[in-house]
Amino acid sequence: MSRHRQKHNMACFQRESPALKEILLRLYRAEKPLEFDHHLYEFGSVEYHVQASASIPDNTYLSIATPLLYQDFILSSGLPRYTLEMVKGISPDVIEIIEPPKEGYKLTLRLKYSRIPRNKGGVKMIASISSVQGVILSSQLKDMLMNVNSLEVSQGMYRPVKLIYHPREPFFVIKQPEKITAVFPMRFKEDTDVIIATAFFQELMDIGSSKAFVKAPHCIWSPIPPAELRGEPIEDLSTNGGFVSFDITGRHVEGKRLDKTVWNLLNFYAFVKYHVKSTRGFIQRRMRTRLESLVEVLYNAGIKDEHHIKKKNRGPKGVRKLLNFSKSKLLKKRYNFINKIKRIRSRIKIHWFSRFRKRWLNFSRFSSVTRYEKLN
């Protein structure tokens, strides 16, 4: 469960943009109206422009430029009406949509800070406004999924629609009678990631087909492209992780479930990549723990006088030191011998000869056993 909470704390799973939220909160908490003009870039393709004027404190302008989910949907007149309604619905009292948007941006909003309450609710409202990019992108998919039960045969039926949420990671949505199929071509950089992910997809299929998850979308993984994607460009169909398909029915888009379903589908890639990364970290931690126990067996093989070994020296560093017999054994013996002599000598203290003590305790250097000495 703690991992589930950690997932929601990760920036890629959060709906709101952390940087935009911080900027808007700074303006919200400012004691005096600020003069502010800030450009913000995220994920390589999303741009925000925040402008605030000290002379007109109530008007803060937020402009957003983001690639749309469905590239063919780009209209010269701007964002579709459904998307604008969804954005306005974030906070109708606070947000006003400026038409036309600023040049170079898809959407410009005016934020009326005076209408934001000065309590925890206000902070929540700012967080909701910071999620405007997620709202824009998810509104397109929501629009498609809401018509899942429609029997109207449209021109684009059965033709896969390519959607891009993360750059270089497109997925496909195919409208079919009474369901919509979302197909995710999976690509990974390393073979290890492919194998870990494939094991995960097989578990996903097993769990999805169990009785407890009858209500969840039916999930299929296949190493080859599904039949519905025939005819798509080869670069979209060449993968090393296979294809994961989810069948979304009317049940999954009813009421509040629509928002969850859309968000889960949009973040499926990020979810899988996070799982693979966590699994690699888990394997590494496990190997480190195992190393200590394996080394300990060999450590026991080298012990001849066990009572000389102190308990506090056990542990990885102590084990490594004690295992290095050939180098340190002689040095250790010599060191112990010198300390013993010093202790014996230091007990004998003749007061008026103290000034000569240093001279008496000045030992000649022991010749090193390993060093070569020229004989005269």
Give the residue, chosen from 252, 266, 269, 322, that forms a contact with another protein under the rule CB under 8 A. Answer: 252
Does residue number 257 form part of the binding site for another protein (CB under 8 A)?
Answer: yes
Does residue number 189 form part of the binding site for another protein (CB under 8 A)?
Answer: no
- Please choose, out of 44-52, 91-99, 132-140, 187-195, the segment that lies near another protein by the rule CB under 8 A: 187-195
Give the residue, chosen from 34, 54, 157, 298, that forms a contact with another protein under the rule CB under 8 A. Answer: 298
CA angle 217, 223, 228 (to 5 degrees): 60
CA angle 217, 265, 174 (to 5 degrees): 70
- Please choose, out of 42-50, 51-59, 77-85, 203-211, the segment that lies near another protein by the rule CB under 8 A: 203-211
Give residue for tokens 């900027």: 23
Q: Please provide residue 127's backbone torsions phi and psi, each rounded to the nearest 5 degrees.
A: -60, -40
Cis peptide before 57 (omega within 30 of 0): no
Give the residue, chosen from 71, 192, 336, 368, that forms a contact with another protein under the rule CB under 8 A. Answer: 192
Q: Which helix (H) or strand (E) holds 300?
A: helix 268-301
3-class state of residue 267 by DSSP: coil
Cite the DSSP H helix spans in 89-228. 120-130, 132-146, 191-208
What gap in Å lies between CA 86 and CA 270, rounded to an integer? Answer: 24
Q: Which helix (H) or strand (E) holds 235?
A: helix 234-237
3-class state of residue 113 by DSSP: helix
Does residue number 320 form part of the binding site for another protein (CB under 8 A)?
Answer: yes
Does residue number 319 form part of the binding site for another protein (CB under 8 A)?
Answer: yes
Contact 219, 228 (CB under 8 A): no
Is the CB of 287 or the CB of 331 nearer to another protein?
287
The DSSP bridge pattern shows strands 46-52 and 36-42 to be antiparallel
Nearest to 217 by CA among 229, 208, 228: 208
Interface positions, 106-145, toward another protein (CB under 8 A): none
Does residue number 213 form part of the binding site for another protein (CB under 8 A)?
Answer: yes
Q: How far is the CB of 71 from another protein (least distance, A)?
A: 27
3-class state of residue 369 by DSSP: coil
Give the residue, chosen from 12, 291, 338, 361, that forms a contact with another protein under the rule CB under 8 A. Answer: 291
Give the residue, chosen from 196, 220, 229, 258, that forms a contact with another protein under the rule CB under 8 A. Answer: 196
Does residue number 338 form part of the binding site for another protein (CB under 8 A)?
Answer: no
Does residue number 2 form part of the binding site for another protein (CB under 8 A)?
Answer: no
What gap in Å lies between CA 131 and CA 126, rounded to an integer? Answer: 9
- Please choose, out of 74-82, 92-100, 274-282, 355-363, the segment that lies near another protein by the rule CB under 8 A: 274-282
Is the CB of 70 or the CB of 213 nearer to another protein?
213
Q: What is the largest CA-CA distance in the chain?
A: 114
Give the residue, chosen from 12, 74, 153, 294, that forms a contact with another protein under the rule CB under 8 A. Answer: 294
- Please choose, out of 51-59, 145-153, 276-284, 339-347, the segment that lies near another protein by the rule CB under 8 A: 276-284
Nearest to 367 by CA among 332, 334, 319: 334
Q: How far is the CB of 121 from another protein (least distance, A)?
A: 26
Is the CB of 185 or the CB of 217 nearer to another protein?
217
Nearest to 95 by CA among 104, 84, 106, 103: 84
State the residues that interact with another protein by CB under 8 A.
Answer: 3-4, 191-192, 195-196, 198-200, 202-204, 206-208, 213, 215-217, 219, 252, 257, 260-261, 264, 271, 275, 278-279, 282-284, 286-287, 290-291, 293-295, 297-298, 300-302, 304, 316, 319-320, 323, 325-326
